[in-house]
């Protein structure tokens, strides 16, 4: 196991990690390939071919926009969301594209960006991934300078066709990262943690320090923007500061979502609801004992409304499921850490204790997310929404138990319960937009995570089904699911609801 927390939680833009963030990164990587092979100055035309789910729901998910931005040299974590519309308008009006920000070429979108809606990437030998993209660069005479194929495998992760094949043929051979506590399963996690007398959060922190300290591993980590925390020297403190910087981006996203009203883009005329619900809770919530649950819904929906609007979000583990983790983090900070414990009458936590709990939450949630990423899938196009909101729910449930000082066994149990009751969940977004059912589904996933955490905290951790078994079941169920229920908008709600 060698995925980093900072690869699972990445700053990007909405509305989709697999259909927006991934394609944008793939386009940028293709431009970097052109630059490193010195082919860029000769490039006079680019053709992009989208296959499978990317072709079927790419317009609703902003894949076309993401590719134009990536080819222009923009990255999902650094592009200024306020500049995006102007950049795209310029490309489309001028019918030119500035490759990598330096090489201006003609770009005629209807013939240069092609959606192959009835085709997977044509691998003649065996089935390939549902999210395939081929980039081809031509010189002035029309000869091919360079071509590469990428798969957007969920959560904003991309692999080239060659990497995909190598990983499929020899999974272990492609791993070159060394960490002190490598784990391949939840069972490994529990066994190693017990033998080393570590919590899951401590174990992952040690692995993150090793990844940070290896100069050959390049992972983008957000930096804190406050003066006091600018340059922590201790690697553990650097990891903690970067996690808190991610949390800051999540909070900013939530605040924008709660503050903003109006209709979401895309043509479905879906109204933003987080703002009105928050106003209602501010007026009447103090009399309602279940108001904290409604606030969890507000936080989750606020983030996903921002995502649907193409705003700045953190994949957790995907964009479509980006609301669950921040909603539970807000729940912990506002309704758990700041209030006396009703069972033990212990006083509210100090700010330092609350921050420690929050860090345990993110580290533990990441460890669980890594298990899904490396043993199953976090791509709706591959395994349905159980791999997106289902995984986010499982991560959040385990993370919340850790924040509440539960045992490793209780963490594993909570993550298992949360996924067990998301099994079989399809991905059928109406109109190919990440709006219905996605926005509400994040609220439901967040509330379910609290329920799973509370159930596990009332037990010792002993249970029949293991997290490893439920992860394997999720993956098998996803593979057995008909592809029209996996981010194609060809079935389910997408088929039975008339767009208007």
Which residues form the interface with ligand SF4 (CB under 6 A)? 320-321, 380, 385, 388-389, 427, 429, 434, 437-438, 441, 487
Q: Considering beta carbons, is residue 154 or 406 the nearer one to ligand SF4?
A: 154
- Minimum CB separation of residue 8 from ligand SF4 in Å reads 16
Cβ of residue 24: shortest distance to ligand SF4, in angstroms?
17
Minimum CB separation from ligand SF4 for residue 55, in Å? Answer: 15
Nearest approach, Cβ of 208 to ligand SF4 (angstroms)? 27
> Is the CB of 3 or the CB of 16 nearer to ligand SF4?
16
Minimum CB–partner distance for residue 45 and ligand SF4 (Å):
32
Minimum distance, C-beta of residue 300 to ligand SF4, in the bound complex (Å): 11
Shortest-Cβ-distance residue relative to ligand SF4: 320
| CB closer to ligand SF4 out of 7 and 487 | 487
Instruction: Reduce the secondary structure of the chain to three states and give it as a string.
Output: CCCCHHHHCCEEECCCHHHHHHHHHHHHHHHHHHHHCCCHHHCCEEEEEEEHHHHHHCCCCCHHHHHHHHHCCCCCCCCCHHHHHHHHHHHHHHCEEEECCCEEEECCHHHHEEEECCCCCCCCCCCCCCCEEEEEEECCCCCEEEEEEEEEEECCEEEEHHHHHHHHHCHHHHCCCCCCCCCCCHHHHHHHHHHHCCCHHHHHHHHHHHHHHCCCCCCCCCCCCCHHHCCCCCHHHHHHHHHHHHHHHHHHHHHHHHHCCCECCCCCCCECCHHHHHHHHHHHHHHCCCHHHHHHHHHHHHHHHHHHCCCEEECCCCCCCCCHHHHHHHHHHHHHCCCCCCCCCCCCCCHHHHHHHHHHHHHHHHHHHHHHHHHCCCCHHHHCHHHCHHHHHHHHHHHHHHHCCCCHHHHHHHHHHHHHCCCCCCECCHHHCCCCCHHHHHHHHHHHHHHHHHHHHCCCCCCCCCHHHHHHHHHHHHHHCCHHHECCCCCCHHHHCCCC
Closest distance of CB 292 from ligand SF4, Å: 24
């Amino acid at each position: 196991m060698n995925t980093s927390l900072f690869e699972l939680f990445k700053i990007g833009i909405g509305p989709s990690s697999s259909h927006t963030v991934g394609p944008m990164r793939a386009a940028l990587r293709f431009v970097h390939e052109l630059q490193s092979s010195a082919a860029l100055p000769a490039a006079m035309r680019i053709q992009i071919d989208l296959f499978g789910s990317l072709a079927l729901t790419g317009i609703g998910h902003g894949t076309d926009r993401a590719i134009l931005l990536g080819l222009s040299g923009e990255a999902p974590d650094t592009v200024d969301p306020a500049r995006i519309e102007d950049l795209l308008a310029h490309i489309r009006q001028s019918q030119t594209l500035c490759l990598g920000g330096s090489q201006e070429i003609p770009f005629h979108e209807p013939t240069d960006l092609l959606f192959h809606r009835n085709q997977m990437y044509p691998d003649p030998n065996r089935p390939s991934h549902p999210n395939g993209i081929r980039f081809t660069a031509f010189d002035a005479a029309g000869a091919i300078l360079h071509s590469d194929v990428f798969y957007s495998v969920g959560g904003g992760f991309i692999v080239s066709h060659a990497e995909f094949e190598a990983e499929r043929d020899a999974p272990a051979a492609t791993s070159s990262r060394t960490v002190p506590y490598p784990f391949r399963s939840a069972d490994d996690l529990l066994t190693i943690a017990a033998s080393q007398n570590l919590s899951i959060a401590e174990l992952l922190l040690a692995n993150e320090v090793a990844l940070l300290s290896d100069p050959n591993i390049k992972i983008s980590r957000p930096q804190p923007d406050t003066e006091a925390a600018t340059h922590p020297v201790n690697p553990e403190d650097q990891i903690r500061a970067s996690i808190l910087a991610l949390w800051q981006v999540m909070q900013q996203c939530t605040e924008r979502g709660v503050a903003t009203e109006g209709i979401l883009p895309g043509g479905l005329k879906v109204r933003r609801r987080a703002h009105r619900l928050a106003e209602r809770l501010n007026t009447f919530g103090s009399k309602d004992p279940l108001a904290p649950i409604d606030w969890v819904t507000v936080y989750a929906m606020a983030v996903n409304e921002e995502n649907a609007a193409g705003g700045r979000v953190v994949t957790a583990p995907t964009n479509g499921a980006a609301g669950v983790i921040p909603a539970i983090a807000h729940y912990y900070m506002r309704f758990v850490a700041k209030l006396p414990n009703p069972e033990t009458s212990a006083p509210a936590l100090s700010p330092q204790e609350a921050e420690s709990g929050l860090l345990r939450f993110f580290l533990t949630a990441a460890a669980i997310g890594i298990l899904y990423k490396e043993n199953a899938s976090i791509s709706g196009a591959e395994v349905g929404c159980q791999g997106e909101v289902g995984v986010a729910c499982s991560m959040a449930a385990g993370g919340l138990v850790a924040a509440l000082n539960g045992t490793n066994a209780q963490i594993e149990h909570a993550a298992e319960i949360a996924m067990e009751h998301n099994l079989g969940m399809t991905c059928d977004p109406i109109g190919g937009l990440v709006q219905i059912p996605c926005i509400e589904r994040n609220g439901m996933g967040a509330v379910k995570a609290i329920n799973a955490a509370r159930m596990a905290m009332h037990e010792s951790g002993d249970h029949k089904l293991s997290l490893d078994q439920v992860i394997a079941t999720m993956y098998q169920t996803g593979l057995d699911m008909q592809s029209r229920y996996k981010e194609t908008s060809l079935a389910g709600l997408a088929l039975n609801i008339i767009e208007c």
